[in-house]
Amino acid sequence: MTPTIAPTARLIFALALLATVSLTTNSALAQSALFQPLYEVLTHPRCMNCHTVTDFPRQGDDRRRHAQLVVRGTENQGAPTLQCAACHQDQNVADDAVPGAPHWGLAPLSMGWEGLNANQLCQALKDTSKNGNRSLADLFKHMSEDELVLWGWTPGGNRTTPPLSQPDFVEALKAWVDAGGPC
Ligand code: HEC
Ligand code: HEC
């Protein structure tokens, strides 16, 4: 009898091994799945309209080019003759027609995220040569406290907000940072 049991045992062992391998693969997927909810927020128009790779900001959910021929300018603050601050105040004004928050301006080109897939955006976000030399802890602080980020959830008018609520975003952010920022 033993000779027939041995191959069965080997088969069971092999199956168990296979199961372990696929479990490992799944947990790798689950890790980068921690970035997925962040990706959905970061690529929302409220964030992306400022994180462009173009020489101008964008507007609206259709992410059209900003009106009034507004340009990036050398300091990401518009042309010398037409600065962002000429229209954008520290809060939404004119019945929310003009959105506003402190230090309103375009994100520098190195922080432009247009066209990046989840993995590329995750890598760019953590790249200290691009992100303003921020550690994961700095990124957490910026994305949970910065006034331009918070504006994304209080954009005024009938502007839409990111798919996660602000507290849920902070929670997802914490889980990602605690896990070491997997991509
Ligand atoms: C009005 C324009 C504007 C909006 C809207 C905006 N940002 Fe930014 N963002 C900036 C600017 C400007 C900087 C650079 C500031 C700095 O480095 O201190 C920046 C920097 C960042 C950084 C750090 C740099 C990096 O690449 O890691 C993160 C993260 C970020 N923003 C996330 C967001 C998220 C998330 C939203 C939406 C909820 C958002 N931003 C909305 C203008 C904007
Ligand atoms: C001449 C006035 C004016 C100037 C200058 C100006 N903006 Fe705007 N901006 C507006 C108005 C008005 C809106 C609202 C448009 C709407 O909601 O249809 C707007 C909307 C936006 C939005 C869209 C918000 C969203 O997600 O829909 C962004 C981003 C933005 N501006 C960035 C900038 C940046 C960055 C600069 C400087 C480089 C700038 N603007 C310069 C008037 C201006």
Q: Which residues line ligand 2 (CB under 6 A)?
A: 45-46, 49-50, 57, 59-60, 66, 68, 70, 72, 77-78, 82, 84, 86-88, 97-99, 105-106, 159
State the Cα–Cα distance between residues 86 and 77, nearest whole angstrom: 10
Distance 172 CA to ligand 1 centre (A): 17
Of the candidates 152, 116, 149, the one whose C-alpha atom is nearest the C-alpha of residue 134 is: 149
Distance 68 CA to ligand 1 centre (A): 23
CA dihedral 144, 180, 105, 151 (to 10 degrees): -20
Distance 99 CA to ligand 2 centre (A): 7
Q: Give pLDDT tens digits along the chain (183 positions).
A: 444 545 545 444 444 444 444 443 333 333 479 999 999 999 999 999 999 999 999 999 999 999 999 999 999 999 999 999 999 999 999 999 999 999 999 999 999 999 999 999 999 999 999 999 999 999 999 999 999 999 999 999 999 999 999 999 999 999 999 999 999
Residue with token string 């070491």: 180
